[in-house]
Chains A and B, each alone.
Chain A
Amino acid sequence: MTYELEKIKTLWDIPKEEHLVGGHSLCAGCTAATIVRHLLKVAGKNTIVVNATGCVEVSTTSFPYTAWRVPWLHVAFENAGAVASGVESAINALKIKGEIPVEKEINVIAIAGDGGSFDIGFQALSGLMERGHKVMFVIYDNEAYMNTGIQRSGATPFAAWTTTTPVTRRIRGEWRNKKDMFDIAIAHGIDYAATANPAYPVDMDSKFQKGLSKDGPSLVHVIMPCTTGWRFEPKYGITIAKLATETAVWVNMEYDVGNFSVTVPVKKRKHVREYLKLQGRYSHLSETEIELIQEQIDRKVEEINKRAGKEVIGPLEA
């Protein structure tokens, strides 16, 4: 692929052009807009976006307005993977037939929330990855069905309050663990999968760049703190995102043609309490429950270090 952009190594390398413009109706402090804005800066204007139903879709295309400066298509909730497969196949066919110049590079990006990828969109996403379409699938993961009012999804983490895992006499928030999309994507035999965090824009943007440079499917799974559903003041979105990585609740990883790496190593981890205490969805937790979550993270960190072959995520701060 002839990719005209220089490799993104610092904030200064991030393109200035905006392809997602203001005036949309996403919540104040919503980090989805930050993610998509960066995604389009990296992708540039020769890009077609397929959007699953969700927050980003409903808030950016309120007819007769649009926030998108690139061609954009929304069909339904569960089929972004299939629609993007169709767009990509059409580009190939029209190139063969001379209706689109062969040399014209067009990025195809599917954007979906956790519902449109982990749950209802899972089958179409799996089909897309298995068939090898040259599409980058970007998940903005706010860990519940925020667009319909904070119902739990397969991405909701252990202990989180949602409107369907309420804190009540019998239920104390979500009692199951989050699905592992990163490894599920890798298991499809694709070349590139990554996890990313908008608090680390250089890391995130370089992952978008790498994903787009691949000749087949790629998946970038991005954590997306949600002011409305996670119950925090709008100004804390990026702070909480940063804490997610500093506590190793969220590890920025990458799989690139067989090579696994942790792209944002953490020397000393903060206690998970620092991450949980800023969010209303965890306000019901007892000390015992917080320690249980900490133990889960400790185990996960051990596994990741083993997989990386060295200590990329350090011990808890004293």
Chain B
Amino acid sequence: MALGLETKKSELKPLSTNKAVAEAAKDSNVDVVAAYPITPQTTVVERLAELIGEGELDAEIIHVESEHSALSAVIGASAMGARTFTATSSQGLALMHEILHIASGLRLPIVMSVATRALSAPISIFNDHSDIMNQRDTGWIIIFTSSAQETYDTIIQAYKIAENSNVLLPVMVAYDGYVMSHTIEPVEVLGKKVAEEYIPKKVSWNRLDPDRPITIGTITSPDYYYEFKYAQAKALESSLQHILEADSEFKKKYGRGYGAVEGYMMEDAEIAVLGTSSYFSNLKYAVDELRKKGVKAGAIKLRVYRPFPREQLYELIKGLRALGVIDRSISYGMTPSGPIALDLMSTYRYKNIPPIQSFVAGIGQRRMLIEDFVRIYEILERRASSNSINEETLFYGVKGIDL
């Protein structure tokens, strides 16, 4: 994996994704951290407090009284020219909702990690993607990661992307709560050199400076508001190229790159299932099982979610006989009920694409074993062969419902 000479000094550490996130924020040499505790994000901030306490990171930590204030505080710090970091989950992300729009509207390069978790009510501390999917229209760059290593690398890449003067947008790095946040994996950490080599700090955004006073966060009339929002929409759309540039530069330097999407056994695949975050790893195991039985199955990972990597994903799906999409959140009252399935169906409306079967699974971390993923492929195959795929979502794993 490690190709470049520069990676020689790197170190392999056993880290949960949460700890890997803290390590990445430290290696990014952030200036201000503000966060509020919420399960399963907490160990990110606990570890950062330790790192600051041990003198391994020179940063201010703000023990805010809510997530709303966490994001507000990093906005203030970022506007002052600091490199900032925050982390949250679930209700915390929902509480931030108002301020998420303001962070992107003010074009501040904030980086946030999200250990994805279900939303109340009823309360569940376990994983699904209801929290993140509720925030998909807030104007943030959203990247899903599938391993502790990828999360570490992506947090670092996120600063490169966010602070790019052609982008200047906040970035959310999302990974599965518990499944990843609390699972220990080997992670190659790059150390503080990464901040100098790959993301040297340069304040590329407008900041508060008494020697050059500016007014940030003004009120606009109908004569001006629209242009701000159009510019923001275009910036997010065109950020994809900068996300990919940041990824290839990282790969060149450190030997690891991820792209916007990833395929597994897609070269000759006839059917495939798309998943995000840790589900991709399970899908790969399922593909191996199915290949043993002679089924030409493949797996697709959607890594960059906003901006939506339309072209890159199209290259993977265009030749398929059928595609399954697994969502871990519900768009209530909509058919299909899976937000990502809905994204695909609408974005490729005028393209020649295979039938898309929407699945919802893993709500509130309903257990999904390898055999469940195999089963999803089998359902897809069966429905594809009988021409019975339609826009209805199949809710996999609900007690008493047999698909």
Interface residues of A (CB under 8 A from B): 45-48, 50, 57-58, 61-64, 66, 68-76, 78-79, 81-94, 96-97, 99, 106, 123-124, 126-127, 130-131
| A and B contact pairs by CB, cutoff 8 A, 5 listed | A63-B219, A72-B217, A74-B218, A85-B62, A87-B77
| Residue of B with least CB distance to A124 | B69
CB <8 Å contact, B69 and A123? yes
On chain A, the residues within 8 Å of B80 by CB distance are 48, 86-87, 90-91, 94
* Chain A nearest CB, measured from B59 CB (Å): 6
Kindly state whether residue B332 has any CB partner on chain A within 8 Å.
no
Known pairs A48-B208, A61-B219, A99-B81. 11 more at Cβ < 8 A? Answer: A62-B219, A71-B213, A75-B217, A76-B102, A87-B77, A87-B79, A89-B82, A90-B80, A106-B210, A127-B69, A130-B65
In the bound assembly, the distance between CA atoms of A94 and B28 in angstroms comes to 15
On chain B, the residues within 8 Å of A79 by CB distance are 68-69, 72, 99
CB <8 Å contact, A73 and B217? yes
* Chain A nearest CB, measured from B259 CB (Å): 34
CB <8 Å contact, A82 and B69? yes
In the bound assembly, the distance between CA atoms of A48 and B208 in angstroms comes to 7
Q: A76-B99, A94-B81 are in contact. Are A86 and B214 (CB under 8 A)?
A: no
On chain B, the residues within 8 Å of A123 by CB distance are 65-66, 69
Which chain B residues (100-135) contact chain A, with CB distance < 8 Å? Answer: 102, 106
Kindly state whether residue B1 has any CB partner on chain A within 8 Å.
no
On chain B, the residues within 8 Å of A124 by CB distance are 65, 68-69, 72
CB <8 Å contact, A48 and B73? no
| Residue of A with least CB distance to B209 | A71
CB <8 Å contact, B215 and A61? yes
Kindly state whether residue B63 has any CB partner on chain A within 8 Å.
yes
Q: A87-B77, A87-B80, A90-B76 are in contact. Are A69 and B213 (CB under 8 A)?
A: yes
On chain A, the residues within 8 Å of B194 by CB distance are none
* Chain B nearest CB, measured from A118 CB (Å): 17
* Chain A nearest CB, measured from B346 CB (Å): 32
On chain B, the residues within 8 Å of A82 by CB distance are 34, 64, 68-70, 72-73, 76
- Most B-side CB within 10 Å, residue of A45, A72, A74, A75: A75
| Total count of chain B residues near the partner, CB < 8 A | 43
| Residue of A with least CB distance to B80 | A90
CB <8 Å contact, A97 and B68? no
CB <8 Å contact, A93 and B60? yes
Contact with A along B30-44 (1 / 0, CB 8 A): 011010000000000
On chain B, the residues within 8 Å of A91 by CB distance are 80
Partner among B73, B81, B218 whose Cβ is within 8 Å of the Cβ of A89: B73
In the bound assembly, the distance between CA atoms of A80 and B106 in angstroms comes to 16
In the bound assembly, the distance between CA atoms of A47 and B211 in angstroms comes to 10
CB <8 Å contact, A94 and B82? yes
CB <8 Å contact, B62 and A89? yes
In the bound assembly, the distance between CA atoms of A101 and B240 in angstroms comes to 37
* Chain A nearest CB, measured from B100 CB (Å): 11
CB <8 Å contact, A61 and B69? no
On chain A, the residues within 8 Å of B68 by CB distance are 78-79, 82, 124
* Chain B nearest CB, measured from A55 CB (Å): 11
* Chain A nearest CB, measured from B391 CB (Å): 39
Partner among A63, A73, A93, A106 whose Cβ is within 8 Å of the Cβ of B58: A93
Interface residues of B (CB under 8 A from A): 31-32, 34, 58-60, 62-66, 68-70, 72-82, 84, 98-99, 102, 106, 208-210, 213-221, 224
CB <8 Å contact, B76 and A62? no
Shortest 5 CB-CB contacts between residues of A and residues of B: A86-B76, A82-B69, A86-B73, A74-B217, A90-B80
CB <8 Å contact, B98 and A85? no
CB <8 Å contact, A72 and B216? yes
CB <8 Å contact, A61 and B208? no
| Residue of A with least CB distance to B29 | A97
CB <8 Å contact, A90 and B32? yes
Q: A83-B72, A89-B32, A97-B58 are in contact. Are A63 and B218 (CB under 8 A)?
A: yes
* Chain A nearest CB, measured from B263 CB (Å): 41
* Chain B nearest CB, measured from A245 CB (Å): 33
* Chain B nearest CB, measured from A166 CB (Å): 29
In the bound assembly, the distance between CA atoms of A123 and B72 in angstroms comes to 13
On chain B, the residues within 8 Å of A78 by CB distance are 68
CB <8 Å contact, B76 and A76? no
On chain B, the residues within 8 Å of A64 by CB distance are 224
On chain A, the residues within 8 Å of B66 by CB distance are 123, 127
In the bound assembly, the distance between CA atoms of A97 and B208 in angstroms comes to 17
On chain B, the residues within 8 Å of A81 by CB distance are 69
CB <8 Å contact, A86 and B220? no
In the bound assembly, the distance between CA atoms of A45 and B215 in angstroms comes to 14
CB <8 Å contact, B213 and A70? yes
On chain B, the residues within 8 Å of A96 by CB distance are 58
| Residue of A with least CB distance to B225 | A63
On chain A, the residues within 8 Å of B209 by CB distance are 71
Q: A70-B210, A72-B213, A75-B99 are in contact. Are A92 and B60 (CB under 8 A)?
A: yes
| Residue of B with least CB distance to A81 | B69
On chain A, the residues within 8 Å of B98 by CB distance are 76
In the bound assembly, the distance between CA atoms of A46 and B213 in angstroms comes to 10
On chain B, the residues within 8 Å of A74 by CB distance are 216-218
On chain B, the residues within 8 Å of A70 by CB distance are 210, 213
CB <8 Å contact, B69 and A90? no
CB <8 Å contact, B215 and A72? yes
On chain A, the residues within 8 Å of B62 by CB distance are 85-86, 89, 131
CB <8 Å contact, A86 and B102? no
On chain B, the residues within 8 Å of A130 by CB distance are 65
CB <8 Å contact, A93 and B69? no
In the bound assembly, the distance between CA atoms of A131 and B31 in angstroms comes to 18
| Residue of B with least CB distance to A50 | B76
On chain B, the residues within 8 Å of A46 by CB distance are 210
On chain A, the residues within 8 Å of B208 by CB distance are 48, 71-73, 87
On chain A, the residues within 8 Å of B218 by CB distance are 61-63, 66, 74
* Chain A nearest CB, measured from B29 CB (Å): 8
In the bound assembly, the distance between CA atoms of A81 and B65 in angstroms comes to 11
* Chain A nearest CB, measured from B80 CB (Å): 4
Partner among B32, B59, B214, B219 whose Cβ is within 8 Å of the Cβ of A71: B214
On chain A, the residues within 8 Å of B216 by CB distance are 71-74
On chain B, the residues within 8 Å of A69 by CB distance are 213
In the bound assembly, the distance between CA atoms of A315 and B70 in angstroms comes to 49
Q: A64-B224, A91-B80, A94-B31 are in contact. Are A71 and B73 (CB under 8 A)?
A: no
| Residue of B with least CB distance to A130 | B65
